Amino acid sequence: MNKKILNVFLILSIILTLSTTSNLFAEGTNRVNMGYLYFGDPKDYVNIIKSTNNSVNIISPSYFDIDENGSLKITSKLEVSFIEEMHKEGKKVVPFLSNHWNRAIGQKALINKEELVNDIVKAIDKYNLDGINVNIENLSHTDKDNHTAFIKLLREKLPKEKQVSVAVAANPKNLKIGWHGSYDYKNLAIYSDYLMLMAYDESWEGSNSGPVASIGFVEQSIQQILSQGVSKDKVVLGIPFYGRIWKSDGTFNGRGVSNNQIDNLIKKYNGKVIFDTKNQSPKGTISIPKGEEITVGYNTTLNEGNYTVWFENERSIKEKLKLVQKYDLKGTGSWSIGQESKNTWDYFDLWLNSKYFTDTQNHWSEQHVFSMVNKGWMVGTSANQFSPDKSLTRAEAATIIVRALDLRLEAEKNSISTSYKDVPKSHWAEEYIDIISYHGLMTGVSSNDFQPDKPLTREQMATILTRIFEKEDNNSSEKLGIPYQYKDVNPQLWSYKYIVFASERGLFSGYEDGTFKPIKQISRAEMATLMDRLSNQLN
């Protein structure tokens, strides 16, 4: 291992360690998880909420609109039976007030704030609602003070036990004019229970193709709102449950489509999906054949042609949930319930509350697993399972090491491919195996076979760890002190020097009976622990 690679690993370890918040392993965390409820038939709302696996604790349905005079309009979606059912389940119902992007109506509402607030207070009391979420969008910077005054009046008029929250635009560039300039973030936070940061629509209908909410856009939006004097416990991170679609001929430029419909489109038309690692967002391409049409969303029919879709999936949403931990935010909000992919609620609440996997809670390796997942070096075996006691395969080991050391092929070697007969191009880890073989950290069991799906052994892992530490001048496995003495490890064993080195470094240890068990299989939990120890040593 040359110094350049080791230094890359050292820098990466320091950055990732510093970004890990102290509350990562907090017990009993119960963050706000609010969700807007807009689409669908109100008769289906109870079942829609039940499908969230009890993850959502604040529901914000579309009950309050504003008419052309700036007065309150109760929508036909309000059903007392739904409110009562949610209360029985211990959930709060906090409807949102919307101008549906109509600036003139929003401005009239602010002018008519006394009457509007009084009517809102009466409606909340009449229907036994738990507060209000104000979602008045597309105002101007000239409306900023009136907007704040409206929220202040709501807080004064509503009983203390009733919530007041405000949906605010993401403003990573700190724009002062136009829509973004209409929010006085600091004072809005003073008069509300929390601000729902709409950290999405980085790309929009009419824009060039791009992610709805790249990880950089989301994190910069969080940093900016906190820099405005808003306390972290007043920020709820908005997460999109939708994507946007662009057609190659320009007839569709960023039309919104739900994540579940995008999943169906990709499956139906055998679309291709790549995960853009820079943006931490999935990007898909689909082709609809001649003569076919399919309806998605409202008033959106797709026909023959090639389409590009940017959307959200399990991986991208988990990255956003990790930001909630990193900045210790109050929780999340989502637009909107019912648009999510089918498996979203299998993991959402776990990741929101720093639990991640159902099978690692109270497991001896829990903190090591969390550390590896937070660094992005290891992932689960399913949405909510890590399988800590399952044997680690050689392909999985190669993948983890490549991610940890951020290894790549040199530009002139990009076309390199291993000659292992058992690693075809179709194998999921083919690229990682190529890279780790190129760097000499892990090789095949023979010149022709890598055995990617065979379990990794303790002596094989000791060999990999030793190679990581080996340098041209020092830290070589040849320059060891007094070797560890294991009953089942003698100098004639091919892996002897590697086992001794890994043991002396404190990465590996033997068993109580004095053995090392060189050919024993490594579990996923043990791999997480070894990599965590390695990270700490190089930190």
H/E/C letters for each residue in 204-258? CCCCCCCCCCCHHHHHHHHHHHHHCCCCHHHEEEEEECEEEEEECCCCCEEEEEE
30-240+315-352 placed in CATH 3.40.1010.10: no
Q: Would you say the C-alpha torsion 76, 82, 87, 90 has a positive or negative sign?
A: negative
Task: Look at residue 66 and give its three-state secondary structure.
Answer: strand
Between CA 378 and CA 386 the distance in angstroms is: 9
The pLDDT > 70 percentage for the chain reads 90
The residues assigned a catalytic role are 137
Q: Give residue 270's identity as a one-letter amino acid code.
A: N
242-311 topology per CATH: Chitinase A; domain 3 (3.10.50)
**Quick check: 381 and 409 in contact, CB under 8 A?**
no
Nearest residue to 330 (alpha-carbon basis) of 168, 194, 163: 194
pLDDT recorded at residue 471: 53
Nearest residue to 32 (alpha-carbon basis) of 63, 48, 55, 62: 55
Between CA 528 and CA 138 the distance in angstroms is: 47
**Quick check: 417 and 407 in contact, CB under 8 A?**
no
Ranges of the chain with pLDDT below 70: 1-29, 411-418, 471-484, 539
Q: Which residues pair with 455 in a beta bridge?
A: 393
pLDDT recorded at residue 412: 47
Q: Per residue in 420-438, pLDDT tens?
A: 999 998 899 999 999 999 9
Between CA 274 and CA 258 the distance in angstroms is: 18
Question: What's 486's DSSP letter?
Answer: B
Q: What are the tokens at 244?
A: 């946007």
Q: Per residue in 332-378, pLDDT tens?
A: 999 999 999 999 999 999 999 988 999 999 999 999 999 999 888 99
**Quick check: 402 and 435 in contact, CB under 8 A?**
yes
The residue ranges of every structural domain in the chain are 3-11+360-537, 30-240+315-352, 242-311
pLDDT recorded at residue 20: 39
Which helix (H) or strand (E) is 461 found in, with range? helix 458-469
